[in-house]
């Protein structure tokens, strides 16, 4: 192979020394990181200088985004077409079919038929996904999770395209390409994959204080769910309900999992990523195959139009929640996922969601993030699925017959007969006809608009910290510690100190203790934040910056924001490891298994080798996993039965001891028959607690039935986070 002319390759210590020199050069000052062309102006692709890259063109500062905004359309169109054929975001997904039924008629608020008939069963398809990683990335990345539901209603498809977090990073869709470019692998080396712990992401975030609230959610345990079946979903935006009288109200959508909201530990997530990057996908598939159908209740927060401005935040701001203490969530129906896809590509990969797929009774607001999504999604599907007929792919088809005058294009499947493909017409008898509202025809809600065309943002959007503080204050102590650890890990991966410092300063606006803890871990001090560098330059030429408003939330904390307050009354679908070897006490195994299975849990017998083991009673017991392939991080709890030879074997088996050590480290329930304490004493926590083993979530009893009862109660609590050492930061 011919050698390319240019730089001479370095070898051995020479290469290592050069790498050190380069790293030192990079860290010398922020100036080393600035790319050439610091005097350049932003322009469109046609060379037109842009004087506002922060706001889309709207009808008033709280008005709808205008189709006229050629700058936004050029930017988002280019972004939508950047990658072929993988989704730019939400590339890695898992899907399932199911049904939805409303509990009682919601006709007071909406005329949407699927929300008005409790006897109606509406088919759904749900796609869960991570945001940042490529299709081949891990399920357990610290990331936002997509939670998109397609309702196949009699009035057409309704897509509720949400996330497992109720807010987003940005307030205006014109910044979406910037956000995703920043969080994706850095373009010069495409590193790191499916991770936000790198310079470009935190550089962007530290300069966009509106992202602060979302960062608190992303750095919390919500970003590493135990299962897709154990996470909440949110519509993110404020939508409208419209009833038969054409009366409107504002609505926020929630999905509440009946299994509760649970997470894994960060160390555990990293290990799972290496041992089984398909962990969430496999978990969802197996639960449905086993008949343990995942269930969520659909909740709504309803706000009358007259109350639009009564809150201390703006309902149109996608970086804000409506605290449940202010507007309770009404649970109005249930979704059950009961069938896996028959073909991953044809269904999960080709499903096309769009915020703009709505039905009569549901409408939009002027949320500038939503307004941009209304344009972007169709444009994205055009390039990703090869043309305008993506709606004819089976997974995307409406269950109602489609009649219109749209023809031809790539991959056309519908065969239209006749000579007429226009409206109005007489040759086709005027068919297809426009539908009156009484006939189910959709008409946009007649919202009054009287404003100037501007590139501005309402001043009511400028509170960036109060809800970030509310979220942090609402967390339990272990959850707060996890946020501190997550921020310290992520910012610790940033090479540029100026970025770390800027972000720590912003954290000081959220909570002084949080900022001090993270700063200590990073070897920094908390300083006063810099003024935002992003500016808006309206037509009058007067610059307006984005300096945040100082607002104090009327709520000190919200119970709904802490996962510590979730349901903890079931062990359904939990995976329990039973460590055993030849000579195990058969009764201690079968009694425990029977009790766990009766509660809906699943168990695996794990032994030093695959095949079978022989119990003390000479019974042959099938082994599900060996210690060579099984890992503690794949299970929710561990049980060690008695049996003299089995206990002696496991106590001398390093992999078995490590299995238990990891389970304890990750705060899981551990149960042992009284005859198996020798195994616990071989662990680091057993030695610490010996001779009297006593620890929250660590159970020992010679009565297997009593032990099983206590073990089931402990597993239902999910984790015993109090095992973690409290964080102490020097004053």
| Residues acting as catalytic residues | 90, 163
Query: Token match 């009354």: residue?
Result: 569
- Sequence-ordered list of residues with C-beta below 8 angstroms from that of 302, at least 6 positions apart, any chain: 109, 241, 249, 250, 251, 327, 330
- Measured over the CA atoms of residue 463, residue 468, residue 471 and residue 472, the dihedral's sign is negative
What is the three-class DSSP state of 251?
strand
Number of neighbouring beta carbons within 10 Å of residue 585: 22
Task: Pull the structure tokens for residue 213.
Answer: 């609230």
Number of neighbouring beta carbons within 10 Å of residue 389: 19
Query: Token match 């939400």: residue?
Result: 90
Number of neighbouring beta carbons within 10 Å of residue 22: 10
What is the three-class DSSP state of 194?
coil
Closest CA to 642 of 714, 706, 586: 586
Please, is 17 exposed, middle or buried when counting C-beta atoms within 10 Å of its C-beta (0-12, 13-18, 19+)? exposed
What is the distance between the alpha carbons of residues 579 and 673, in angstroms, rounded to a whole number? 11
CA quadruple 440, 443, 446, 450: dihedral, nearest 10 = 180
Task: Pull the structure tokens for residue 480.
Answer: 């707060």
What is the distance between the alpha carbons of residues 679 and 652, in angstroms, rounded to a whole number? 8
- Rama region for 408: left / alpha / beta (φ>0; ψ in -120 to 50; rest): left
- Sequence-ordered list of residues with C-beta below 8 angstroms from that of 664, at least 6 positions apart, any chain: 670, 683, 684, 685, 698, 723
What is the distance between the alpha carbons of residues 376 and 675, in angstroms, rounded to a whole number? 63
Helix %, strand %, coil % for the chain, to 5? 35, 15, 50
Is the distance from CB of 129 to CB of 215 less than 8 angstroms?
A: no
Task: Pull the structure tokens for residue 698.
Answer: 């660590």
Q: What are phi and psi of 65, to 5 degrees?
A: -70, 135
What is the distance between the alpha carbons of residues 693 and 673, in angstroms, rounded to a whole number? 12
What is the distance between the alpha carbons of residues 61 and 462, in angstroms, rounded to a whole number? 12
Closest CA to 90 of 49, 48, 137, 53: 137
Q: Using H for helix, E for strand and C for coil, what is the string for 603-661?
A: EEEEECCCCEEECCCCCEEECCEECCCCCHHHCCEEEECCCHHHHHHHHCCHHHHHHHH
Query: Token match 């606006």: residue?
Result: 509
Q: State the DSSP H helix or E strand holding residue 184, giving kind and residue range, or none if neither.
A: none
Q: Is the N-terminal amide bond of 691 cis, ω within 30° of 0?
A: yes
- Sequence-ordered list of residues with C-beta below 8 angstroms from that of 457, at least 6 positions apart, any chain: 54, 55, 61, 171, 172, 368, 536, 546
Task: Pull the structure tokens for residue 334.
Answer: 């249930």
Q: Is the N-terminal amide bond of 192 cis, ω within 30° of 0?
A: yes
- Helix 266-275 to helix 477-492 angle (10° resolution) is 60
What is the distance between the alpha carbons of residues 573 and 569, in angstroms, rounded to a whole number? 13
Is the distance from CB of 124 to CB of 150 less than 8 angstroms?
A: yes
Task: Pull the structure tokens for residue 88.
Answer: 């730019």
Task: Pull the structure tokens for residue 209.
Answer: 């204080």
- Measured over the CA atoms of residue 338, residue 340, residue 342 and residue 344, the dihedral's sign is positive
Is the distance from CB of 251 to CB of 315 less than 8 angstroms?
A: no
């Amino acid at each position: 192979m011919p050698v390319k002319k240019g730089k001479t390759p370095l070898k051995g210590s020479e290469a290592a020394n050069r790498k050190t020199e380069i790293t030192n050069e990079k860290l010398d000052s922020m100036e080393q990181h600035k790319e050439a062309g610091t005097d350049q102006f932003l322009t469109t692709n046609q060379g037109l200088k842009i004087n506002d890259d922060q706001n889309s063109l709207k009808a008033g500062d709280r008005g709808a985004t205008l189709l006229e905004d050629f700058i936004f359309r050029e930017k988002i169109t280019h972004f939508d077409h950047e990658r072929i054929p993988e989704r730019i975001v939400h590339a890695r997904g898992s899907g399932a079919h199911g049904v939805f039924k409303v509990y009682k008629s919601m006709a007071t608020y909406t005329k949407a038929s699927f929300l008005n008939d409790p006897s109606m069963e509406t088919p759904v398809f749900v796609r869960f996904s991570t945001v940042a990683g490529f299709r081949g990335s891990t399920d357990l990345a610290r990331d936002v999770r997509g939670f998109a539901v397609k309702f196949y209603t009699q009035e057409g498809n309704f897509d509720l395209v949400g996330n497992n977090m109720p807010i987003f990073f940005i307030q205006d869709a014109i910044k979406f390409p910037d956000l995703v470019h920043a969080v994706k692998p850095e373009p010069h080396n495409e590193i790191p994959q499916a991770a936000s712990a790198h310079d470009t992401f935190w550089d962007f975030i530290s300069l966009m204080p509106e992202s602060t609230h979302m960062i608190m959610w992303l750095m919390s345990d919500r970003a590493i769910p135990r299962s897709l079946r154990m996470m909440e979903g949110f519509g993110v935006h404020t939508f409208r309900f419209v009833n038969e009288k054409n009366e409107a109200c504002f609505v926020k959508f929630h999905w509440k999992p009946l299994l509760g909201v649970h997470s894994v530990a960060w160390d555990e997530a990293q290990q799972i990523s290496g041992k089984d990057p398909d962990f969430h996908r496999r978990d969802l598939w197996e639960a449905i195959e086993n008949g343990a159908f995942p269930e969520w209740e659909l909740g709504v927060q309803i706000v009358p139009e007259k109350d639009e401005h009564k809150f201390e935040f703006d309902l149109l701001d996608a970086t804000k929640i409506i605290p449940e203490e202010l507007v309770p969530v009404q649970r109005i129906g249930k979704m059950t996922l009961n069938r896996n896809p028959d073909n991953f590509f044809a269904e999960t990969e080709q499903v096309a969601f769009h915020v703009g797929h709505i039905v009569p009774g549901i409408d939009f607001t002027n949320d500038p993030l939503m307004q941009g999504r209304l344009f972007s999604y169709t444009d994205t599907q055009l390039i990703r699925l090869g043309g305008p007929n993506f709606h004819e792919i089976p997974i995307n088809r409406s269950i109602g017959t489609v009649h219109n005058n749209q023809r031809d294009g790539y991959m056309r499947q519908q065969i239209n007969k006749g000579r007429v493909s226009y409206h109005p017409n007489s040759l086709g008898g005027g068919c297809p006809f426009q539908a009156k509202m009484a006939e189910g025809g959709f008409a946009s809600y007649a919202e009054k608009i009287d404003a100037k065309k501007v590139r501005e943002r309402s001043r009511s959007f400028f509170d960036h910290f109060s809800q970030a503080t509310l979220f942090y204050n609402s967390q339990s102590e272990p959850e707060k510690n996890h946020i501190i650890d997550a921020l310290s890990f992520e910012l610790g991966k940033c090479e540029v100190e100026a970025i770390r410092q800027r972000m720590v300063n912003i954290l000081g606006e959220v909570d002084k203790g949080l900022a001090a803890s993270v700063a200590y871990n990073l070897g920094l001090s908390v300083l006063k934040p810099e003024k935002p560098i992003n500016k808006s330059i309206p037509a009058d030429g007067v610059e307006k910056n984005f300096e945040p408003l100082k607002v104090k939330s009327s709520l000190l904390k919200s119970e709904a924001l802490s996962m510590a307050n979730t349901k903890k009354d079931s062990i359904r679908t939990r995976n329990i490891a039973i460590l055993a070897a030849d000579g195990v006490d058969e009764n201690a195994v079968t009694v425990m298994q029977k009790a766990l299975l009766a509660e809906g849990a699943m168990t695996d017998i794990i032994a030093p080798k695959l095949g079978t083991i022989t119990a003390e009673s000479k019974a042959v017991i099938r082994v599900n996993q060996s210690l060579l392939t099984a890992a503690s991080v794949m299970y929710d709890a561990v049980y060690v039965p008695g049996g003299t030879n089995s206990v002696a074997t496991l106590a001398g088996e390093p992999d078995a001891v490590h299995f238990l050590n990891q389970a304890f480290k990750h705060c899981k329930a551990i149960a042992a028959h009284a005859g198996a304490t020798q195994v616990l004493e071989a662990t680091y926590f057993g030695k610490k607690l010996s001779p009297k083993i006593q620890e929250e979530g660590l159970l020992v009893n010679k009565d297997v039935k009593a032990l099983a009862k206590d073990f089931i109660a402990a597993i239902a609590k999910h984790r015993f986070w109090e095992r973690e050492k409290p964080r102490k930061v020097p004053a």
